[in-house]
A and B are shown apart, each in its own frame.
Chain A
Amino acid sequence: MSGVRAVAAWPGPALVAGVVAAVAAGAPAGPVLVLGAAVAPLLALLQPARAAATRHPVTVAIAGLVAALVLSAHLAALADTAALVGARRWHAIVLAAALTLLVTLMPNAGRRPGLAPLIGGGALLLVLVTAGASTGLAPWGAWAAAAARPALVFSGRSPWVTDGERFLRRTTLAFDEGHRVVAVTPGTFRVVEADEGRRVVRDWRLTGGDALTLRPGDTLTAEAGSRLRFEPGKRVPGAPASGSAWADAAPRASPTRSLALLATLVLGACALVPVSARCTTAAAAIVLALSVGATSWGVYATLASPEAGLAGSPIEALLSLPRVVPPSAHGLTAGGLVAVVVVGLLALFIAAAEGLRQVVRAAAGTRWPEVWAVAMGAAALIAVISIVDPWTLLMAGLGLAGAALAAPRLAAGRGAGRRLGWPVEVLGALVGAGAFVALTVAKLPAALELLAAFPVLVAAPLGFAVVRALHATR
């Protein structure tokens, strides 16, 4: 198996958009996310060689569920892209799922495994270079310029100021200074006022053109689909206070949350990236391009439009860069560059889907060929009905993969035998998956919030321990 095919399942649209958005927003976990996204698939390539995968209906079901969750994250990212360019979400989901199913089920589908990642990476690289050249700044120069800003404010050219933009998901904004927002379309908005220590909740029903005045300390909750217009020159709600605060947010990251995020990424990569890659140079080049490219993209995005992220989707940061490119940039218009980004994301989705199909195929063999089509259908359904953002779905998919596929497999090594008539690895997978689902749906106390956010921290060690314990009782 080539290195390109080995890591093809990794940099899908949801992961790329999540990394770019974290850098653009100055998220404290940004550096850990960039490093983890780059190093985790390479670490997965170093997994010990093992015997053939245990073929069992339970393993097939878990692999199918993992594929459905990860695919739904990528489909949700494509749906957000469609919504931000004015198309319908479900149109994008159905079209992308149908096209990808067709491409991956075609005869000789895997003959050119490097084509889709090459198109996707090349398209995004073209936009990045064009946008970077239009600013006249190298990425490190853009970083220094972004870090030197006294405040992150709405520019007069921002679409949030000129025409108003739409919220893709229910979003709560915290205001640090007085602000007058205008509803572009009718909607209900909840304002929580901080009035001398008391919290007063007011629901406002606004029609198009109605204004709402917010004071420092107030929060505004906008429902999905509502549109608002902001004032130019005002601080972006929820953004870091200044460029310096944006640049220095990373050292304030919680070490435990950072470790939990790394555990999710590494174990998820161990489940999705196959071990038998021959040529690792291409794989190493891909993840290096992912780390440097996504970081540069995020830096240019925050310099050009610090409000990218208000809509409630990480895709907004990805699309904000081509949108601010001046029309004369190398003959490419902003609309043309947005189209290139859409093509690039679709190609990355096809590449990721082909990689996930290999994961399902490794679990199911040739006995259940319909599992892949069912996983794609389930992913499309999840993406249509889901109200959470693509990153949440991706973390759920990677966490489940780590707890129920990677941990039992690593514990079993070259085979752990059978107990109670079942393969020990399958018993470990059942325990890992059960613990992951239980922690995800349970209402844990605030002290255990970390486990609710990263259930893999408990589920993966449980799956691992069960396999080792049953193996030792032989």
Chain B
Amino acid sequence: MPSSSIPIRPWRRAIIRLPMAADRGRRIAVVVFVFLLLVPPLVTVLPGSPGTMRVAGITLLWWYAAVVGPLAAALGVVLARAVR
């Protein structure tokens, strides 16, 4: 009995080891998280006080600190762990 009658062509593929790709995703996520944390201190030194602008009665800085930043971090950690 022949071993196989289906011709298999060897395609050239870029081989990326999975742990290395996962570690890259983790490193990117860490950089993004550090940036997320640094936004409020950076906003306080920017001219014009952009953090005091109000949206629906609440300052942008508080919207970011209580909702946008934690939400972005939550999505980020789920995505980063999904890559692993």
Instruction: Report which A residues bind B (CB closer than 8 A).
Output: 30-32, 34-36, 38-40, 42-43, 45-46, 48, 140-141, 143-144, 147, 247-248, 250-253, 255, 258-259, 262, 266, 277, 280-281, 283-285, 287-288, 291-292, 295
Contacts and interface: CB of A to CB of B under 8 A. Distances in A.
Contacts, number: 129
Given A143-B58, A255-B45, A295-B65, 13 more contacts: A31-B61, A34-B65, A38-B70, A46-B77, A140-B58, A247-B62, A248-B59, A255-B44, A259-B41, A262-B37, A280-B81, A284-B78, A295-B62
Given A31-B66, A143-B57, A143-B58, A253 B44 contact: yes
A43 B66 contact: no
A39 B77 CA distance: 10
Contacts of B74: 42, 284-285, 287-288
A251 B30 contact: no
A39 B73 contact: yes
Contacts of B57: 140-141, 143-144, 147
Most chain A CB atoms below 10 A, which of B23, B61, B70, B81: B70
A258 B29 contact: no
Contact of A32 (B34, B40, B45): B40
Given A39-B70, A39-B73, A295-B66, A255 B41 contact: yes
Interface in B16-30: 23, 26, 29-30
B44 A258 contact: yes
Instruction: Give the interface SS of chain B, mostly helix, strand, loop or mixed.
Output: helix
Given A46-B33, A48-B23, A266-B37, A251 B61 contact: yes
A255 B44 CA distance: 7
Contacts of B67: 291-292
Contact of B77 (A35, A252, A280, A291): A280
A34 B80 CA distance: 22
Nearest to A36: B37
A291 B69 CA distance: 10
Contacts of B62: 30-31, 143, 247, 250, 295
Contacts of B49: 251
Interface of B: 23, 26, 29-30, 33-34, 36-38, 40-45, 49, 51-52, 56-59, 61-62, 64-67, 69-71, 73-78, 80-81
A8 B78 CA distance: 17
B68 to A, nearest CB: 9
A250 B73 contact: no
A43 to B, nearest CB: 5
A42 B40 CA distance: 18
Contacts of B65: 30-32, 34-35, 250, 291, 295
A147 B52 CA distance: 12
Most chain B CB atoms below 10 A, which of A32, A36, A292: A32
A291 B64 CA distance: 11
Contact of B80 (A35, A46, A255, A285): A46
Contacts of A251: 43-44, 49, 51-52, 59, 61
A178 to B, nearest CB: 32
A412 to B, nearest CB: 17
Contacts of B26: 46, 48
Contacts of A40: 37
Contacts of B38: 259, 262
Contact of B70 (A30, A258, A277, A288): A288
What are the nearest 9 A-B pairs in CB distance?
A144-B57, A31-B65, A284-B74, A38-B70, A295-B66, A291-B70, A255-B41, A258-B41, A35-B65
